[in-house]
Amino acid sequence: MTFRLLKKCLYVYRQNYMTDTPTTPPYPQGISFEGPLTRFCLYSANAQKVELGLFLPESEIPQQTIALIRTGDFWHIELPDITKGTHYAYRCYGEWNPEKRNLFIQTNWLLDPYAKHLNTYAKWNVKPLINVRGIIQEAPAFNWEDTKSPSLPKEDLVIYEMHVRGLTAHQSSEATSKGTYAAMIEKIPYLKKLGVNVVELLPIYEFDECHCKNTNPETLEPLVNYWGYNSISYFAPKKSYSASGDPITEFKTLVKELHKNKIEVILDVVYNHTGEGSSDYAISWRGIDNQTYYMAGDYTGCGNTLNANHPQVQTMILDSLRYWVQEMHIDGFRFDLASTFTRESNGHPMEKPPILEAMANDPILKSVKLIAEAWDAGGLYQVGLFPTLGPWSDWNGKYRDIVRKFLKGTDSNGDKFAAVLMGSDFLYHSTSPLSSVNFIVAHDGFTLRDLVTYQGKHNLANGEENKDGNDQNDNWNCGEEGTTTNPDILALRERQMRNHWLALLLAQGIPMLLMGDEYGHTRFGNNNPYPQDNELNWFLWDNLNKYPEIFDFVAKLIAFRKEHPELRRTKFLKPEEITWHGSKPNKPNFSSRLIAFSTNTPSKLYCAFNADHQGIDIELPSPNFYLIVNTFDNWGNHHFSNQGPRLPIKLKLEAHTALLAIELNK
């Protein structure tokens, strides 16, 4: 045997059979660069062999196939002088073991979970993604112009939940490149005029909008996964939201411009499951290491539940979050179905989940906003838990349900309504009212207008025979289903919308608005429009122009909240700082559908909600109160900036009406 042949045999042996076990990965996971070298590193504890494929951009067949070296559970190699723009993917080999749920295949090339540049489509809704690969390229240089995060205190936040594409997709947006990050920049002046200072973006991690089985039952046209809760990469922004074809630079530009205007960016992120189907191995981590990445059970309703407390999956999630904070300057995250984070690999809830402890102690992540959707599809409901485990706030589903039930007037739950107005101390106890993100509606469910217009859901257009979406919504159509010409019903609906707005923006905690509610957007009763890429979901700028009085009411109410620190408390109100007015001294009025209180703070406010079907006589605590809002008036008759009339000490609060007043010594 010649020396050259012996050397080659040794190289092959080292490539395929060395299994030393270091305590740390040999390289950062994903790809990295050092001079002329490109380094590749992939985790797979159960693979027997891993190959790297290098592809020309338009080729389905690899130009080179290279076996990787194994060190512990990491497969890696460094290669010199690889042409930037080359595509890459991995192929893992193994055996099926039903006990360990290992699945490795030898035919498909798999996407690197750490890939930051993908060969996905630059245009929206082209065709299903297949053969998704990473692209070998370094991050483009970007000038942040010394722009920093606004770093707003939690008590000052007013969150606007929105969809990047939906904000400007409609022709009435008059945006230059509709449905893109660039188009959203054009609408920053609007966001400032409304008064919101945080945008919470529905998923912008790369996803496959064509991954949807549904068709429209009338047109038979295929529907799309519009919302985007099916991430296929945790490091790449969605390319089809980019007008330029460079999603990283364009998204950074959006963040920079928002920060210049003192608006923070929170991302709605989906670390509870991955977006592929069980057989889509071209983008599946099942082919890389099924046993490591996934739980056996389905706790998301989508399958592919991530095993978040496995050390490797935990590392991947933390690396992803840090990347978005450090490289993209993101201010926080809202975690979809966050209760999956509290589960062991067998699905059992954990008292101290490692992933949550790691986030709480991470020097980068503990400085950003962390918001939990504190439930999952497996039945865990943990609102109130997450703030005890770190710097978290919750989507307060209890607030939503209690406010809806009280204001429609069917339940005499005044004590609960009073409690959520004060920050839900029964949930958050010794933490803070800022643990509560208060919302009445969100992307998932009815819009605010539909909440007061429809008794039942109307989801036939989703192609699931109206079986999808929640059946219980605590909604009330005010006497007639859907559109009507009855002036009394129309007036009641508008009044109920104003009541909900007042309850949202007066409550202690962090308020969250849904995009479009500020002009009364309707989805015509569809409470689960995830596959609707059309006017059901899009912001209709022409409707904003038709109903400016709703916008004006909301914007002025937001401004009023910002002007009064007693509405933005960091701690719960003390008993001596609030007086309840009702049939029992200093207690919420349990026996009726009236809740009335006044604050004993520097700005003395009086507020009353009558959820009854008839008027109620009330008495103000002094003769020096001036009207701010009476929701019985129409949108255009509200009073702000302390310009309202002086109120009589005794007056009648009409049915389904709320009142806000301020004490002034004129």
Asked about 336 being catalytic, the answer comes back as yes
Summarised one tens digit per residue, pLDDT across range 527-548 is: 999 999 999 999 999 999 999 9
Q: Which structure tokens are listed for 643?
A: 């310009």
Tokens 């099924």, residue located = 290
- What pLDDT is recorded for position 99? 57
Predicted TM-score (pTM) of this structure: 0.94
Query: Tell me, what amino acid is at 417?
Result: F
> What's the confidence (pLDDT) of residue 600?
92
Burial of 110 (0-12, 13-18, 19+ CB in 10 A): buried
CA of residue 371 relative to chain centroid, distance: 9
Between 273-277, 283-287, 451-455, 580-584, the lowest mean confidence (pLDDT) is in 580-584
118/88 Cα distance (integer angstroms): 10
Whether 575-663 and 3-109 are alike in CATH topology: the answer is yes
Task: List the catalytic residue out of 264, 373, 376, 654.
Answer: 373
**pLDDT band, very low/low/confident/very high, at 16 (cuts 50, 70, 90):** very low
**CA pseudo-torsion sign 298, 300, 305, 309:** negative
- Domain borders along the chain are 3-109, 155-567, 575-663
Output the CATH code of domain 575-663. Answer: 2.60.40.1180
**Tens-digit pLDDT profile for residues 365-392:** 999 999 999 999 999 999 999 999 989 9
Share of the chain above pLDDT 90, in %: 82
Q: Predicted confidence band at 410 (pLDDT cuts at 50, 70, 90)?
A: confident
Buried b (16+ CB within 10 A) or exposed e, 179-207: bbbbbbbbbbebbeebbbbbbbbbbbbbb
Nearest residue to 206 (alpha-carbon basis) of 274, 138, 303, 252: 274
Annotated catalytic residue 481: no
Rounded Cα–Cα distance for residues 256 and 131 (Å): 33
- Alpha carbons within 13 angstroms on the beta-carbon side of residue 490 total 7
Answer whether residue 592 shows pLDDT above 90.
no
Q: Give, rounded to a whole angstrom, the gap between the first and last alpha carbons of the chain.
A: 105
Q: Which range among 155-169, 241-255, 277-291, 642-656 shows the weakest confidence by mean pLDDT?
A: 277-291
Those residues whose C-beta lies under 8 Å from the C-beta of residue 294, and which sit 6 or more positions away, are 101, 285, 286, 304, 305, 306, 307
CATH 3.40.50.1000 fits 3-109, yes or no: no
Residue with tokens 């819009």: 447
CATH of segment(s) 155-567:
3.20.20.80
The answer to whether 53 touches 88, Cβ cutoff 8 Å, is yes
Specify the residue for token string 């770093």. 151
8 A C-beta contact, residue 253 and residue 185? yes
Catalytic residue among 336, 517, 533, 654: 336
